[in-house]
């Protein structure tokens, strides 16, 4: 399906900022693209990082230039690429849980078991209305469909607030190879701040989605805490579990050589719980911690994907697993996703809960200031399960 022309794996090339093997394959797009694109193409060399990262075109802007081959800046080392040759084990995926009977002990047990074995599960009949999910997906396409100059207003350089951030890849400044993804990240402070600072094309839809998922998030945390012998979520625990929230809107454009790059590299989330809405395209893979194989998370219409993050792994002293996952790039369709990261408050100190250690179990993690933990995560490129070592006892 994809071209097999070998592209040399970067040695030091990623430090070079120009691409000379640049070809235009879809000239019709150029008539729609801003004149800047034409002058860049005429010069027959393009400063990829500058165009994508600094100029705010994102990888979406790059994809729309009609590249025939993947720029070397995006070529991942072989061990990080997706093995497209082996069919994925679609039959053995993460549990699908019906929340309509979430007060049944069997459902609670299924949730706690899934959080222990997989760290991931999908939920249906979760109470978030279908139109809310559809609206946030549409709004995501609308945001990324804005002209680069418009999106750039929310970039690190131009955004009036740190709580709204449009960007690309994960941490471009720290990455040897970039990831094939653009994002808008919205940290929730208050309704008023969201109403005045979040991009108008998506703010109402995102707010509805965030509010609409609150009940099921609380229910899931209540069930998971019960599984740890925590019978009541008091104020401190409430803050540790869900003291802050961040939502990302992710855009994974069509990629010329999806087999050579990644949408998102191997990582685990730093959240307590992540609630992820994905479209019908697929591409999210989860590590099976027993076989170490990558398992696809199949899109299920109307479902939400739930995963345990590092904060909950730490609080549960390793009982609930924050599992490594990654996203492939796609050669034929533009994919979007919208994860809500339910997090401790930045100023919270998190560590294994006393209820978990009551039985004399040894603490695997020390107490850490959550903002230090998050800073550590964002100081480096994605590196699988390495972040949690920061909190190792
Ligand atoms: C993330 C993530 C998965 C996806 O944003 O942390 O893992 O399917 N996203 O986009
Ligand atoms: Ni993730």
Taking residues 272-282, report their average pLDDT: 98
- What is the number of the ligand 1 atom nearest to the C-alpha of 263? 10
Taking residues 64-82, report their average pLDDT: 94
Using one digit for the tens of pLDDT, what is the confidence trace for 17-72?
333 333 333 333 343 444 444 444 433 456 999 999 999 999 999 999 999 999 99
User: Ligand 1 centre from 181 Cα, in Å?
Assistant: 10
Beta partners for 96? 122
pLDDT of residue 231: 93
Task: Tell me the pTM.
Answer: 0.89
pLDDT of residue 43: 36
Q: If you average pLDDT over every residue of the chain, what do you get?
A: 89
Using one digit for the tens of pLDDT, what is the confidence trace for 191-245?
999 999 999 999 999 999 999 999 999 999 999 999 999 999 999 999 999 999 9
For the chain, report the end-to-end CA distance as a whole number of angstroms. Answer: 48
Taking residues 74-93, report their average pLDDT: 78
> Using an 8 Å Cβ cutoff, are 213 and 195 in contact?
no
Using one digit for the tens of pLDDT, what is the confidence trace for 324-362?
999 999 999 999 999 999 999 999 999 999 999 999 999
pLDDT of residue 42: 37
Q: How far apart are CA 337 and CA 308, in angstroms?
A: 17
Taking residues 175-204, report their average pLDDT: 97
pLDDT at 285 over 80: yes
Asked whether 330 lines ligand 1 (CB < 6 A), one says no
User: Ligand 2 centre from 245 Cα, in Å?
Assistant: 14
Among protein residues, the one with the nearest Cα to ligand 1's atom 6 is: 269
Among protein residues, the one with the nearest Cα to ligand 1's atom 5 is: 339
User: Ligand 2 centre from 305 Cα, in Å?
Assistant: 11
Task: Pull the structure tokens for residue 7.
Answer: 């592209």
Backbone angles phi, psi at 239, to 5 degrees: -70, -45
Q: How far apart are CA 250 and CA 322, in angstroms?
A: 20
Asked whether 140 lines ligand 1 (CB < 6 A), one says no
pLDDT at 295 over 50: yes
């Amino acid at each position: 399906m994809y071209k097999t022309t070998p592209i040399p794996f970067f040695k030091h090339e990623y430090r070079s900022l120009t691409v000379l093997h640049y070809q235009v394959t879809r000239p019709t797009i150029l008539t729609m693209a801003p004149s800047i694109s034409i002058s860049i193409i005429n010069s027959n060399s393009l400063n990829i990082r500058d165009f994508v990262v600094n100029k705010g075109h994102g990888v979406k802007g790059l994809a729309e230039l009609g590249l025939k081959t993947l720029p070397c800046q995006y070529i991942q080392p072989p061990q990080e690429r997706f093995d497209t040759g082996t069919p994925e084990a679609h039959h053995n995926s993460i549990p699908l849980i019906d929340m309509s009977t979430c007060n049944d002990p069997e459902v609670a047990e299924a949730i706690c078991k899934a959080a222990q074995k997989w760290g991931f599960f999908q939920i249906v009949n979760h109470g978030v209305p279908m139109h809310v999910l559809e609206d946030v997906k549409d709004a995501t396409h609308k945001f990324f469909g804005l002209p680069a100059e418009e999106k750039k207003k929310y970039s690190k350089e131009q955004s009036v607030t740190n709580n709204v951030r449009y960007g690309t890849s994960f941490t471009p400044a720290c990455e040897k190879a970039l990831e094939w993804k653009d994002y808008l990240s919205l940290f929730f402070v208050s309704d008023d701040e969201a109403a005045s600072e979040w991009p108008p094309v998506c703010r109402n839809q995102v707010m509805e989605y965030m509010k609409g998922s609150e009940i099921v998030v609380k229910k899931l945390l209540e069930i998971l805490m019960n599984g740890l012998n925590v019978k009541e979520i008091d104020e401190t625990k409430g803050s540790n579990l869900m003291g802050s929230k961040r939502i990302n809107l992710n855009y994974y454009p069509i990629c010329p050589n999806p087999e050579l790059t990644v949408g998102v590299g191997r990582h685990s989330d730093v959240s307590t719980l992540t609630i992820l809405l994905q479209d019908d395209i697929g591409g999210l893979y989860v590590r099976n911690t027993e076989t170490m194989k990558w398992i696809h998370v199949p899109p299920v219409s109307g479902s939400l994907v739930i995963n345990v993050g590092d904060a909950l792994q730490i609080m549960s002293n390793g009982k609930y697993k924050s599992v490594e996952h990654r996203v492939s790039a796609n050669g034929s369709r533009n994919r979007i996703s919208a994860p809500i990261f339910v997090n401790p408050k930045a100023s919270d100190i998190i560590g294994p809960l006393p209820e978990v250690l009551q039985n004399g179990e040894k603490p695997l993690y020390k107490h850490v200031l959550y903002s230090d933990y998050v800073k550590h995560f964002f100081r480096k490129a994605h590196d699988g399960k390495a972040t949690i070592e920061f909190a190792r006892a």
